[in-house]
Amino acid sequence: MTSRQQVRLKLSFLVLISLSILLAACQSNPPLLTPISPEETKAKADATQIATRLADHATPTPIPSATPWPVVTNTPQPEPRENLLGITNPLTGLKIKDPDLLRQRPLLVKIVNWPQSFRPAEGLNKADMVFEYYHGAQINHLIALYYGDDHPHVGPLGDGSVVDARLTEHQQGVLVVGTVDETVENVLDNFLVDRFARRGFIPCPGICTDTVAQGGKTWVDTAAVREALSDSVAANKTPDLFGLTFSETPPDSNLTAQRFSYLYADFSVMDWRYNLECEKYELWQDELVSEGRYKLSKAEDRDTGEPIAFENIVFLFTNYVNYRDLFYDINFDDGNTQQRGILLRDGKLYHINWSTSAYDQPFLFYNLNGEAFELKPGRTWVTLSTNDSKIEQVDEDEWDMHFIIK
């Protein structure tokens, strides 16, 4: 019996309980786990304690015919929009070099952003999209999506979370993470089925770990991971990620944004500054100068030294669900087209709405008239903020957003 099978057996009762809850709420992006009481939220419980509490609080419900998580089958899938596939990447609006990549699921790779000693990251500029979300303790997590291009050295690879399962489902992708605790592994392994790999499941050169002397960081070769998963039917289903629209001409806006600073805390800042020359937003991050003193420094790719820069920066107001310390989920309220957002492109700021039609459909952006918002062709960075976070205009073209979670 493999270690992976042993983990499944040990957590079988958790799988049955979690799955019954998920199946009963399939119409509205249900939580992956049942939230525990506020008092228990603060407890630092291990996976076994969480499982026991879930069992105590679970309410038996009839299992409906439809399920919120897909069942993998060998049924051939039709090619999506063949007239466009192989010409334009639906996530960037750019032509691509290798059309065959668009016939495979995107890879979503977890990236370490904390502690600061793990920076700088490598390969973010090669990602079609990057998702940023709150992890707890005033720090964030990153997950980079690779669809129209591969990169031989992405990382450092980060640990998996429940939110990773959400994002991977919405982007119809395959998730690659470092380590996971038992509860998270149960969620990822059973709901992503054969679309989840962690360190140790795929050998080097797919997932490689440096020696201790080199720092012990783990890196991903996205092409090698695809090759390792080439026999997996689930991992190689052709996705349908169409829906975003693009235009080189920015929509009209009376609001400018040369700088937009997203503040988790004084020591945890994601600061975006518009570079008119390259027509992208460059990332600046907190850097420890001395004990208790920080400054903002330009974030650069570990390998190339190039600034980490994206054409579109998006902030989505979402509903976080807290189970315990450092254990969050996000309810994306599928089907609600009136969810708020902020979008930056070409030095301008836009108030937008956003939605996702189902648990396995990508995020779409709209102007306030309900029309598709046109992104700038290129890469997009999406920050999943909270509904309580506050935006403040501090100067004519400078903005702060303060992360608030209740």
Q: Is the pLDDT of residue 355 over 90?
A: yes
| Structural domain spans, the chain | 3-57, 85-406
- The burial class, CB within 10 Å (0-12 / 13-18 / 19+), for 291 is exposed
Are 332 and 356 contacting, i.e. CB atoms less than 8 angstroms apart? yes
66 vs 153: which has the higher pLDDT: 153
Token pair 């492109």 is at which residue? Answer: 345
Residue with the bigger pLDDT between 78 and 290: it is: 290
Q: Say if residues 296 and 286 touch (Cβ distance below 8 Å).
A: yes
Q: Per-residue pLDDT for 34 more than 60? A: no
Q: List the CATH code of the domain at 85-406.
A: 3.50.90.10
What pLDDT, in 10s, does the model give residues 103-124?
Answer: 899 999 999 987 777 788 999 9
- What rounded mean pLDDT belongs to the chain? 80
Q: What is the pLDDT of residues 187-222, one digit of tens each?
A: 887 888 889 888 888 989 999 998 776 777 899 999
Of 187, 186, 175, the C-alpha closest to 143 is: 175
pLDDT digits (tens, 9 = 90+) for 286-329: 887 777 778 899 999 988 899 999 999 999 999 999 887 778 89
CA distance from start to end of the chain: 44
pLDDT of residue 358: 92
% residues pLDDT > 70 (the chain)? 78
